[in-house]
């Protein structure tokens, strides 16, 4: 069972509960949503956690108390949760599918079911195409058009999983294969290795003296729903998480060539093969060969690139965006690595929409080998996240001071806030409160449909206040969920440069904002980029690797990354802005 599957079930329960507003429903919805966030970020498969420690182990998951642990236990043992089954009897709709459409929340889904009998995506398509939605009270033509756009976006992303969902699945399979004792070497290839924001399928390469046993072991893994194709050295399966996975057992002497080939991208490989042909070679998944078909190189990727007179190109850069030319000129930049990240400037605690206390977040940050974090809870305008007002922030700052004394240098916590950028570009707290913060993340959380000129002015006005340290998730996109708002990123980056504001690379898997192409565009300006987890749970610091993946895909070097400095240097940088 995938952690993602259970997290999705908890999200669906929360959505169904949210339809009927009762005194208890808001609490329940928040509890299920928080638990879903924590479960989705677990590094260990939840069934293994339960097998090792039973019910008590489940209660160690942030946000999971006895009641939710009972639900998890029920699912592990029976494959069902009775609460969900009862809710589905009341609302016989495919809630998870319907709410995956941008602009369609749980209450709207139920309203469409009651009015038009919409139970699933196909029913919704028919209702929109026949223009039945616009005539319903509270909808109208504009709402119908938004739903149509949401359906188109869903269709375009169909079959692709978030990087943050696909990588744990791939890593789990690699871990199981490694522990089996049947393989000598096993690595992830494909778009997951290139850290694309979404993954269409998973590619895994291995070497083994017993390929048939490896294939049999692979096909019987708990993550596998069904076998698509089975062969002696290649097996394709459909994973329960909703993605296909190829496992290939490669001859040891061809492993480097196969890794280069199956990592891709296709366009990058075409360009590299063209270089090989010009130099009188032939390059394929088996190796690099000369004109007489004599093997020149095959065991190691670096050797193959070197034989072609090229630098090794990092996997994240292999997208045919000029990296081949740089590799030939030996000018590939030394791009940022996860170990270069010393702190996390964007985290949340249970005072707003986080799952954990500040102390729990601090403990987790230390375990993640971070030197500092900024606690940046939401501000009052974001009511859905229980945003804090000025008085609450000032009170919270005292708790930060007390916690820093308690930590005694093990971790530095910076006072911060994720301050809403309002419609006119003003900020959602008093300047006197904001000036008490070490780190101010300015973010847009409302009115996403503003025209480009107005949205651009809104953001640049906020940056011009001199109060913003980092522009949070700058384009507002949600991967597979919401298009970026209309924005002139060049003007925003120019304003960020003028005002000394860093642009965020929000590493939360559903955001990954800025993405790689926007990073490359904005890096023309003298701005820093802050790679942050946007953690809402102690489990989320692991998301930093996805943000670093975006930074590497955007060709960023360490010196361009805001939080690639140690705690002492960061303290000085933040102090100099006050």
Could you check whether the bond before residue 265 is cis, i.e. omega within 30 degrees of 0? yes
Give residue 365's pLDDT.
98
> For each successive 10 residues of the chain (578 residues), what is the average pLDDT?
84 90 81 87 83 90 90 90 92 88 87 92 92 91 87 77 93 95 97 96 97 96 92 94 94 94 96 96 93 87 95 98 97 98 97 93 97 98 91 97 97 98 97 97 96 98 98 95 94 98 97 98 98 95 97 98 98 90
Residue 571 to residues 373, 415, 566: CA-CA distances in angstroms? 11, 11, 9
Query: What does the block give as tokens for 218?
Result: 């692979």
Domains of the chain: 3-156 (1.10.150.110), 161-249 (3.30.460.10), 261-328 (3.30.210.10), 338-576 (3.20.20.140)
Query: What does the block give as tokens for 140?
Result: 């109208």
The shares of helix, strand and coil residues in the chain, as percent rounded to the nearest 5, are: 50, 15, 35
Residues 6 or more apart whose Cβ sits within 8 Å of residue 155: none
Q: Distance of alpha carbon 213 from its chain centroid, rounded?
A: 34
Alpha-carbon dihedral 348, 351, 469, 549, rounded to 10 degrees: 10
How long is the chain?
Answer: 578
Residues 6 or more apart whose Cβ sits within 8 Å of residue 234: 215, 246, 247, 248, 249
Give residue 403's pLDDT.
97
Query: What does the block give as tokens for 5?
Result: 């599957």
Give residue 157's pLDDT.
64
Give residue 1's pLDDT.
54
Neighbours of 457 (CB within 10 A): 17
Closest CA to 91 of 30, 18, 28: 18
Q: Distance of alpha carbon 277 from its chain centroid, rounded?
A: 38
CA 361, 365, 366, 371 dihedral sign is negative
Phi-psi region of 378 (alpha: psi -120 to 50; beta: other; left: phi over 0): beta
- Total-model pTM: 0.88
With 0-12 / 13-18 / 19 or more C-beta atoms within 10 angstroms meaning exposed / middle / buried, residue 363 is middle
Whose tokens are 């008490």? That residue is 436
Phi, psi of 238 (to 5 degrees): -105, 125
Q: Distance of alpha carbon 11 from its chain centroid, rounded?
A: 17
């Amino acid at each position: 069972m995938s952690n993602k599957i259970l997290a999705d079930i908890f999200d669906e329960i929360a959505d169904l509960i949210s339809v009927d507003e009762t005194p208890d429903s808001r609490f329940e919805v928040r509890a299920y949503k928080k638990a879903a966030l924590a479960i989705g970020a677990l590094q260990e498969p939840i069934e293994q956690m339960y097998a090792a420690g039973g019910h008590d182990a489940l209660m160690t998951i942030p946000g999971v108390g006895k009641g939710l642990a009972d639900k998890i236990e029920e699912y592990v043992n029976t494959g069902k949760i009775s609460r969900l089954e009862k809710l589905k009897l009341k609302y016989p709709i495919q809630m998870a599918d319907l709410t995956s459409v941008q602009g369609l929340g749980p209450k709207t889904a139920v309203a469409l079911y009651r009015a038009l009998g919409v139970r699933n995506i196909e029913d919704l398509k028919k209702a929109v195409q026949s223009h039945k939605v616009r005539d319903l009270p509270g909808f109208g033509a504009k709402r119908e058009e938004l739903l149509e756009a949401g359906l188109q976006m869903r269709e375009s992303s169909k079959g692709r999983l978030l990087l943050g969902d696909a990588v744990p699945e791939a890593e789990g399979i690699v871990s199981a294969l490694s522990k089996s004792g049947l393989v000598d070497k096993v690595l992830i290839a494909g778009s997951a290795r290139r850290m694309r924001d979404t993954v269409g399928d998973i590619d895994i390469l291995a070497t083994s003296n017993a390929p048939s046993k490896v294939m049999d072991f692979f096909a019987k893994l708990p993550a596998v729903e069904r076998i698509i194709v089975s062969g002696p050295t290649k097996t394709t399966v459909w994973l329960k998480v909703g993605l296909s996975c190829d496992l290939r057992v490669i001859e040891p002497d061809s492993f480097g060539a196969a890794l280069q080939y199956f990592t891709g991208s296709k366009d990058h490989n075409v360009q590299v093969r063209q270089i090989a042909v010009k130099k009188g070679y032939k390059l394929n998944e088996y190796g690099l060969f000369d004109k007489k078909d004599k093997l020149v190189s095959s065991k190691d990727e670096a050797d193959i690139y070197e034989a072609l007179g090229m630098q090794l190109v990092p996997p994240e850069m292999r997208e045919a965006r000029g990296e081949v030319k740089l590799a030939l000129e030996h000018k590939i930049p030394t791009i940022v690595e996860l170990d270069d990240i010393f702190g996390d400037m964007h985290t949340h605690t249970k005072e707003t929409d986080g799952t954990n206390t500040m102390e729990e977040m601090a403990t987790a940050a230390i375990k993640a080998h971070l030197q500092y974090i900024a606690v940046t809870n939401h501000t009052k305008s974001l009511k859905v996240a229980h945003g804090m007002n000025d008085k609450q922030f000032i009170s919270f700052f005292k708790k930060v001071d007390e916690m820093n004394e308690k930590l005694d240098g093990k971790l530095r916590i910076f006072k911060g806030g994720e301050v809403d950028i309002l419609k006119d570009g003003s900020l959602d707290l008093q300047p006197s409160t904001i000036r008490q913060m070490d780190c101010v993340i300015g973010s847009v959380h409302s009115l996403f449909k503003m025209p480009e000129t107005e949205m651009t002015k809104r953001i640049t006005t906020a940056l011009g206040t001199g109060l913003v340290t980092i522009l949070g998730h700058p384009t507002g996109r949600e991967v597979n969920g919401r298009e970026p708002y209309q924005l002139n990123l060049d003007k925003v980056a120019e304003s960020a440069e003028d005002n000394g504001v860093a642009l965020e690379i929000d590493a939360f898997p559903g955001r990954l904002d800025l993405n790689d192409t926007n990073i490359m565009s904005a890096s023309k300006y003298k701005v820093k980029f802050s790679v942050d987890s946007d953690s809402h749970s102690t489990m989320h610091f692991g998301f930093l690797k996805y943000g670093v993946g975006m930074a590497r895909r955007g060709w960023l070097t360490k010196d361009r990354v805001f939080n690639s400095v140690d705690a002492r240097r960061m303290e000085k940088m933040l102090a100099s802005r006050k």
